[in-house]
Homo-oligomer: A and B are copies of this chain.
Amino acid sequence: MTDAYIVGAGQSSFGSFPEETYRTLFREAYEAAAPADLDPGDVDEAFVGTLGVGGRQIGLAGPVVTEHVGLHGVPCTRVENACAASGYALRQAVMAVESGMADLVLAGGVEVMTDTSAEATKYWLGVSGETEWERMAGTTFSGVYAQMADAYLREYDAPRRAMSEVAAKNHANGAKNPKAHLGFECSVDDAEAASVVADPLTLYHCCPTTDGAAAVFVASEEVAASFDDRVRVAGVGAASDRVGLFQRDTYTAVEASERAGETAYDAAGVADPRTDLDFAEVHDCFAIAELLAYEDLGFCDRGEAAALVGDGVTAIDGDLPVNTSGGLKSKGHPIGATGAGQAVEAFDQLTGNAGDRQLDDPERGLTHNVGGSGGAAVVHVFEAEGVSGA
């Protein structure tokens, strides 16, 4: 089996662009991702992640954007796993390469979220909850994650302030990212003092509603050799779980993340993520989600996430920087584009192109993308050129 490599990755600006369309945003990402020496005629497969409800293209939402960048004829599949849509699209691209059915694959995602009414957006955002018992009962996503936050703070007697520390850290990183939606700093006190959205979550504990697109080119080892930048996909893992939070065994862990991480670590030879990883992009749709991710992915023991962020371990100058891009919190969360967008940051870090956010020669990083409140999760481990297994 061939290894899979990322040979190009890029994203549109993330933000509020109601005048843009899924096509124009995807094209912006495609052009940012395309390696200088790409021959589009060599692309032999495409996967596009999008949730894409509302007034936009619904059926054939994949081919409708790939045709717009000129990839007529290339097999294109829309992949949807709610907020993990393009994390799964990337995993499909890796699978296509490893199956031998494709040599150069475009994986990406796109979402336009701000061109509908507030009422439609509320509907929109609820569709990834469990339909009968969450969405139709009126539960919002903030409400679901607030239940997780409340359960976590109680179980471990953790301070709400830990979530504000996550927010302040991610905004500090996002302020250095020219493509971030909310590219400004926010202090811990700002986050603490902000309006409550769903107790205990304040406004700054919640990611914004974002438009954007991201794209990644995945190649076989042989094809990758002809490109200048190469990042190896060292491991991939995915898992599903019951879609409704109320159906799960625990509110204070996301088991799909844990399983996905274990699978990816096994494949990549990551024995201890605390020492074997140099950075991670995790799914911080709400600040509590980042704290849970620390524990689900083995960055610390259960109940220790508040201390991890409090001690600065996950700050950009810490031992294991998390969300150097700004994360969903500050960079933004255009649903279908988020997973591929995380891979863009990993690619930029591992090729030394992360600008003001550049880490000091990172060798290995992780991306972690969650659908809904944990009904699906996918984890990738990436390695810089020349690094071979942990």
Residue of B55, B66, B99 near A99 (CB, 8 A) is: B99
Complex: A260 Cα to B100 Cα, angstroms: 17
| Residue ID in chain B nearest A256 by CB atoms | B73
Interfacial chain B residues near A82, Cβ < 8 Å: 59-60
Q: For residues 257 through 278 of chain A, which have their beta carbon under 8 Å from a beta carbon of chain B?
A: 259-260
A76, B240: Cβ atoms closer than 8 Å: yes
Closest partner residue, chain B, to A238 (CB atom):
B75
Asked if B1 contacts A99 (CB within 8 A), the reply is yes
Contact B240 A63 (CB under 8 A): yes
Known interface pairs A75-B240, A81-B78. Does A128 touch B58 (Cβ–Cβ under 8 Å)? yes
Tell me whether A188 is interfacial, beta carbon within 8 Å: no
Indicate if the CB atoms of B60 and A53 lie closer than 8 Å. Answer: no
Is the C-beta of A131 less than 8 angstroms from some C-beta in chain B?
yes
Proximity bits, A231-261, B CB within 8 Å = 1, else 0: 0000010111111000100000001100110
B131 touching A73 by the CB < 8 A rule? no
Q: Is A77 an interface residue (CB 8 A)?
A: yes
Scan residues 31-51 of chain A and give those whose CB is less than 8 A from a CB of chain B: 46, 51
Please tell me if A79 contacts chain B, counting CB pairs below 8 Å. yes
Docked complex Cα distance between A112 and B167 (Å): 41
Cβ proximity bits A308-349 to B, threshold 8 Å, 1 near / 0 not: 000000000000000000000000000000000000000000
Task: Please measure, in the bound complex, the distance between the C-alpha atom of A77 and the C-alpha atom of B61, giving whole angstroms.
Answer: 16
Determine how close the nearest CB of chain B comes to the CB of A107; give it in whole angstroms: 13
- The answer to whether A242 and B81 have CB atoms under 8 Å apart is no
How near does chain B come to A384, taking the closest CB pair, in angstroms?
Answer: 23
Q: Would B59 and A371 count as touching, CB distance under 8 A? A: yes
Summarize A's interface: helix, strand, loop or mixed.
mixed
Cβ 8 A contact of A81, one of B77, B83, B256:
B77
Chain B residues, CB < 8 A from A46: 240
- Chain B residue nearest to A55 in the complex (CB): B131
A64 within 8 A of B: yes
Given contacts A67-B240, A78-B79, A92-B77, A60 and B100 within 8 Å (CB-CB): no
Interface: A95 (CB within 8 A): yes
Which residues of chain B are near A66, meaning CB under 8 Å?
Answer: 240
A150 contacts B by Cβ under 8 Å: no
A76 touches which of B61, B64, B96, B376 (Cβ 8 Å) = B376
Q: Does A359 contact B (CB under 8 A)?
A: no
Closest Cβ–Cβ distance, residue A61 to chain B (whole Å): 7
Is A72 part of the contact surface with B, judged by Cβ < 8 Å? yes
Is A294 among interface residues, defined by CB-CB distance under 8 A? no
Interface residue? A74 (CB, 8 A)? yes
Per the bound structure, the CA–CA distance linking A74 and B260 in Å amounts to 10
Given contacts A74-B239, A95-B101, A98-B101, 17 further A-B contacts (CB under 8 A): A59-B80, A59-B129, A60-B128, A61-B80, A62-B81, A67-B247, A73-B256, A74-B240, A75-B239, A75-B260, A77-B81, A77-B92, A77-B376, A78-B79, A78-B80, A80-B80, A95-B99
Chain A residues in the interface with B (C-beta under 8 A): 1, 46, 51, 53, 55-64, 66-67, 71-83, 88, 91-92, 94-101, 127-131, 236, 238-243, 247, 255-256, 259-260, 371-372, 375-376, 378
Q: When A and B form their complex, which 3 residue pairs have the shortest distance between CB atoms, in order from nearest?
A: A59-B128, A59-B82, A75-B238
- 30 of the cross-chain contacts (CB-CB < 8 Å) are A1-B99, A46-B240, A53-B53, A53-B58, A56-B131, A57-B127, A57-B130, A57-B131, A58-B127, A59-B129, A60-B82, A60-B371, A60-B376, A63-B81, A63-B371, A67-B241, A67-B243, A72-B241, A73-B239, A73-B240, A73-B241, A76-B81, A77-B88, A92-B95, A95-B99, A95-B101, A98-B99, A98-B100, A98-B101, A99-B100
